[in-house]
Amino acid sequence: MASDEHLAILNQGVEAWNNWRALNPGVRPDLSMIALDNAKLMGADLRGAILQNAMLINADFSMADLRGAFLTLAFLGQSDFGQANLSGADLRGANLMLAHFGKAILVDAKLFRADLSGAALSQANLSRADLREATLVQALLVGTDLTHADLTGCNIHGISAWKLKLNKHTKQHNLIITGSDEPEITVDNIEVAQFIYLMLNNQKVREVIDTITSKVVLILGRFTDERKAVLDALRDELRKRNYLPILFDFDKPTNRNTDETITLLARMARFVIADISDAKSVLQELRGIVPELPSVPVQPVIVASQDEPGMFDFYRRFPWFLPVHRYDAPAELLAELSERVIEPSEAKALELHATAVPTYLP
């Protein structure tokens, strides 16, 4: 039970409480099992306080200092912990439904089996936090720091997670993505959990994925005025054939982000058309795509008057890098597009798919 003395001081307000804490630094406040719904504790010094089994629904803990506080099995639903410091706090089994933790510090916090359903954790720092078997159903995590955190066994059904800060030490094993009324399905990556659940339960999403994997064509080339006209014509012609062409401008400076974007687009593509006429950076990007993506055919094309780059000997050893198609003028390229570009690329895509998927015979 809570200390009557400590509770009486708390009831005098945050200023009186903080003054008492400053004068009695060696006293550990005992506020266990108190019932103070809608308590106004903004900026309160609650370091190391014992709040086990406390009933503090809809309380205002914003900017409070709760470092090392003992809050096991406390009822703290709908409370505001915005910018509060809960480093090392013990919240095992606490009810934190719909609580607000915007920019709160929960470094090393113990949240084992805590209920954070619907909680707002945007920009909260949960580095090294123990979230094992916690309930994060419909929680909001935007820019949340989960580096070194342990999420093993969390229920993340309906979670909204964007721009999370993760690292190789973040444990993400056995994350439950299904609702309580559905057969349990677990994944090991919080960032792809939403996507996987949508694929399992939304026919339209599956149709979109099928469309992407069967219809996207990545077009590479130079974006000078002359070359851009050819690439635009290629894009228009592919559209007429029910493909989804994607153009990427390689004349812009490349960096790690653009390299990753190029690789991602290539992974999504049914095949790649690379116009190597007047080639510059596109050759560098092909070096990043071709060796790494054996399931994506690459069909190079070039103006007939130009020589192939010397490095093409490197690419020819990869079976999914098709023979170079030469054309005299853009009109000729478009006229031969089906026979000399699309059909060889589709045939190679089918061949690669057949060899990549094991066939099981009865």
pLDDT tens digit at each of 362 positions of the chain:
789 999 999 999 999 999 999 999 999 999 999 999 899 999 999 999 999 999 999 999 999 999 999 999 999 999 999 999 999 999 999 999 999 999 999 999 999 999 999 999 999 999 999 999 999 999 999 999 999 999 999 999 999 999 999 999 999 999 999 888 887 889 999 988 877 777 676 666 656 666 666 788 999 887 677 778 888 888 888 988 888 898 865 545 455 556 777 888 888 889 999 998 887 677 778 888 899 899 999 999 999 999 888 777 888 889 999 999 999 998 999 999 999 999 999 999 999 888 764 433 33
Tokens representing 225? 């005025």
* CATH at residue 330: 3.40.50.360
* Inside any domain, residue 18: yes
Choose the final residue of a domain: 201, 221, 246: 201
For 160, the domain range is: 1-201
Residue 285, amino acid: E
CA distance 201 to 187: 15
Residue 236 three-state SS: helix
Choose the final residue of a domain: 201, 229, 260: 201
* Inside any domain, residue 361: no
Question: How far apart, in Å, do the first and last CA atoms of the chain sit?
Answer: 69
**pLDDT at residue number 85:** 98
* Inside any domain, residue 290: yes
DSSP codes, 135-198: B-TT-EEES-B-TT-B-TT-B-TT-EEES-B--TT-B-TTEE-S-TTS---EES-HHHHHHHHH
Cβ-defined contacts of 313-316 (< 8 Å, 24+): 314/287, 315/286, 315/290
Dmax (CA) of the chain: 93
b/e for 316-341, b at 16 or more Cβ within 10 A? eeeebbbebbbbeebeebbeebeebb
* Inside any domain, residue 362: no
**pLDDT at residue number 339:** 92
Q: Does 159 share its domain with 283?
A: no
Q: Does 157 share its domain with 220?
A: no
* CATH at residue 168: 2.160.20.80
Q: What is the dihedral of CA 238, 242, 243, 248, to 10 degrees?
A: 50
Q: Kindly report the three-state secondary structure assignment for every residue of 278-310.
A: CCCHHHHHHHHHCCCCCCCCEEEEEECCCCCCC
Q: Does 28 share its domain with 163?
A: yes
Q: Does 212 share its domain with 288?
A: yes
Q: Does 195 share its domain with 258?
A: no
* Radius of gyration of the chain measured on its C-alpha atoms: 29
Choose the final residue of a domain: 201, 231, 253: 201
Average pLDDT over the chain, rounded to an integer: 89
The answer for residues whose C-beta is within 8 angstroms of residue 259's C-beta and 6 or more apart is 285, 288
Q: Does 234 share its domain with 193?
A: no
